[in-house]
Structure 1
Amino acid sequence: MVEDFEGFVRARSTALARTAYLLTGDRHQAEDLLQDTLARVAERWTAVSRGGDPEPYVRRMLYTRAIDGWRGRQRRAALDTTEARQRPELRGRPDDADTVTRRLVLRDALARLTQRQRAVLVLRFYEDLTEVQTAEALHCSPNTVKSQTRHALERLRQLAPELADLFGPGTPVEAR
């Protein structure tokens, strides 16, 4: 069974790390989140793998831990994004200025969302899950997913109106 866990980690850790980064907005926090999640999964690996594919369970644990365990770090993430704007190595080449600027604006706006809103957006738009699948992953109702998605997109439009084209149809909230 240990070999199965190690194989799972080798095969899926890159994708899980990407998701953890999207949930936290910080590479170091994402590494900590993933490591903590995998350590907890390792303790229960026999039960987790008994039902077949362990990935849905691992992802659900990752989402839940991101929402529940990292709430106090949201303020710190906002400070980290301010520092990132001042670091020259993140400014990019002149040809990439618009792309880098858009990414930084989006990163700043995402950092200001609640953890639940951020998790809903990651699951819906990065993981491409349905509302029902997202609700199952987060242990909530599909209506909660719908309202959290709506509130998160509205908040992103307020925080970064220049990126409204990324958030689907509609006009910025201020124009309504």
Structure 2
Amino acid sequence: MIDLSTLDAYGTLTEPTTLTIQRLLPGPIERGWAYLTESDLRRQWMASGDMEMKVGATFELVWRNHELTDPPGERPEGFSPEHRMQSRIVDLDPPHKLTITWGVSGEVAFELEPRGEKMLLTVTHRRIPDRDILLKVSAGWHAHLDILVARVSNTEPAPFWENWSRLHAEYARRLPA
């Protein structure tokens, strides 16, 4: 059992190419599930895209990070206003687990566990191909989860791109080269 009093907001490498990051969120678990699976709610913290809830179903995620916060902050060089990614559901156990493909080689699992009136969200991103992408996805998951926490807590999130840039530098210090 995870000691929730020591839960760190930063992701950790649980294997050389696997990042795991957790957040304790207000419950109930069905609310968290809705924020993971319903396009209109997911777009408020990460990316839109309708999903058919069955293993093998394909879908497209569409990121528009400049729409996540007001103001959005200054977008770093190399990022476009919109990013699209084809994905597929590879594991599904509503409302506890959703695993999807990530690009052509990666995979992301979202797991929700009830913790009294709260829920523990664990995001595990597997098969990250190199350090540059590791730093981008580490900062990305952290920044997106910060927005999710703000949304479900009815608070205003920090500007997305400023938070992402700060986190990218912090992960460069924290994660081994």
TM-score norm. by structure 2 comes to 0.27
If each structure's helix is expressed as a fraction of its own residues, which one has the higher value? 1
Higher relative contact order (CA 8 A, sep 6+): 2
